[in-house]
Amino acid sequence: MRIQIIGFGVIGQGLARVLLRKEEELRQRYGLEVSVVSITDISGTAHAEEGLDLRKALSVARETGAIVNYPGAKEMSGVEAIEEIEAELVVEATPSNIKTGEPGLSHMLAGFKAGKHVVTSNKGPLALKYRQLVSEAERNNVEFRFEASVGGAMPVINLARETLSGDRITAIEGILNGTTNYILSRMTREGLSFEHVLREAQELGYAETDPTYDIEGIDTASKLVILANAIMGIDATFSDVKIRGITRITPEAIRLAKERGYVIKLIGEVKNSHLEVSPRLVPETHPLNVDGALNVAMLHCDVAGEVTVVGKGAGAIETQSAILSDIIAIWKKVKG
C-alpha cells in the first residue's frame, strides 16, 4: 500500500517511527506492506517511487527541521504532492486549525478528488465541514477515517461505529482534553489555584503558551462535534456547541464538591441534538472520573447500556494506534 504523509511534525514523525517498528508485524498479521512514497511538510516534499527511507527522513527532520533537505526533495506543496504522486492513501497530519480548517481541508479534498483514501488526526476540518468531507469521500468512492482526531489513543469512534455495531448511541459524555483534565486533577489533589497549576503545566510543556483552546473548552468542543456527527449522525458544526471552560473553577468549588463525594471535570456532552461543553460534578466512583491527562468517553447505548472507554488523549506514539488501526481497516476493506 502506497502512502503519502502530509505534515511531518509530532504526528507524522511518530507514524514514520511506528511504521519502521511494525514493518514485519504488519506483514505477518495482515499481509500489509506499507511504502511511504512521499512526505510533505511546510518546506516541501520528499518523494521516491520505490518508497522513502524513513530513517533518513526522520534524521533529516530532526537535524534540519525541513523535509526539503531530504536528497532529491522539491519545493512541492501538499496539494501538489497529492495530485501528482501515485499513491492509494493520504495520511493528513498537519496542525489543527479551528477557524478555517486549512491547510488540512484542502489536503483532504484533494485526496478524495484524486481517488485516494484519507486517514487523519486533524480535527479542524472535521469540526467545521464534516458533511462536506464525508460526502466528497463517498462521491469519490474512497474511505475516510479519523479515529486519531478525537482522544488520541482512545478508540471511541471505531468502538462506537464498528465494535458496538448492534447498538444505537443515544448520548455521549466525555473528557476529551487532556490538558484541562491534568489541571483539574492537580487542583483537586493538591488544593492549588487554577492559575498556579496552569503556569506549572506551561513550564512543563503540558499546556501551550497560549492555552485558550484547551482551557476555554474549544478543543473539547471541536472533538464533540466530530463525535456527534460520526457516531450519532447529527449534522452539527463547531458553532452549534454551547461552551464554558474551566478558568473560573476555584479550589473552594473543588473542595466543596469533594466533601460531597464529587469531582469537577470539563465534560463534553451530546444528547438530544444538544451539544455542550461545561464543567460538571462527577461522582468520585463514576467511570467518567479519570485522572491526569487521560481522556474518557461514555457511550449511552440502546442495548448495551453505558459503555465507557479510557485512553491516553495525546502522544506522538500513542496516537499512532488510531492512525494504524484506520490504515489497517482500509487495507482489509480494499484487499477484500
- Binding footprint of its own copies on the chain (CB under 8 A): 18, 22, 25, 30, 153-155, 158-159, 162-168, 185, 284-287, 289-291, 294, 296, 301, 303-312, 315, 317-318, 320-325, 327-329, 336
* Omega of the bond leading into 103 within 30 degrees of 0 (cis): yes
Residue closer to its own copies by CB (options 86, 162) is: 162
Residue closer to its own copies by CB (options 67, 322) is: 322
- The rounded radius of gyration (Å) of the Cα atoms in the chain is 20
Sequence-distant (6+) residues with CB within 8 A of 181 are 175, 265, 266, 290, 291, 292, 293, 294, 295, 313
Q: How far apart are CA 283 and CA 214, in angstroms?
A: 23
Residue closer to its own copies by CB (options 175, 221) is: 175
Q: How far apart are CA 298 and CA 287, in angstroms?
A: 8
Which of 223, 258, 271, 312 is flagged as catalytic? 223
Taking the complex as a whole, how short is the minimal distance between the CB of residue 323 and its own copies, in angstroms? 8
Count, in order, helices (H) and strands (E) of the chain. Answer: 12, 12
Paired strand residues for 312: 294
Taking the complex as a whole, how short is the minimal distance between the CB of residue 141 and its own copies, in angstroms? 16
How many other C-beta atoms lie within 10 A of the C-beta of residue 54? 19
Q: Using alpha carbons, select from 1, 2, 114, 111 the residue that is nearest to residue 48.
A: 2
Residue closer to its own copies by CB (options 45, 181) is: 181
Q: How far apart are CA 188 and CA 328, in angstroms?
A: 40
Taking the complex as a whole, how short is the minimal distance between the CB of residue 89 and its own copies, in angstroms? 14
Taking the complex as a whole, how short is the minimal distance between the CB of residue 23 and its own copies, in angstroms? 13
Taking the complex as a whole, how short is the minimal distance between the CB of residue 266 and its own copies, in angstroms? 16
Paired strand residues for 39: 5, 46
User: Is residue 223 among the annotated active site residues?
Assistant: yes
Residue 308 burial (10 A CB sphere; 0-12, 13-18, 19+): middle
Residue closer to its own copies by CB (options 231, 307) is: 307
Residue closer to its own copies by CB (options 166, 205) is: 166
Q: How far apart are CA 264 and CA 120, in angstroms?
A: 31
7 contacts 94 by C-beta, under 8 angstroms: yes
Taking the complex as a whole, how short is the minimal distance between the CB of residue 320 and its own copies, in angstroms? 5
Sequence-distant (6+) residues with CB within 8 A of 138 are none
Q: Mind telling me the catalytic residues?
A: 223
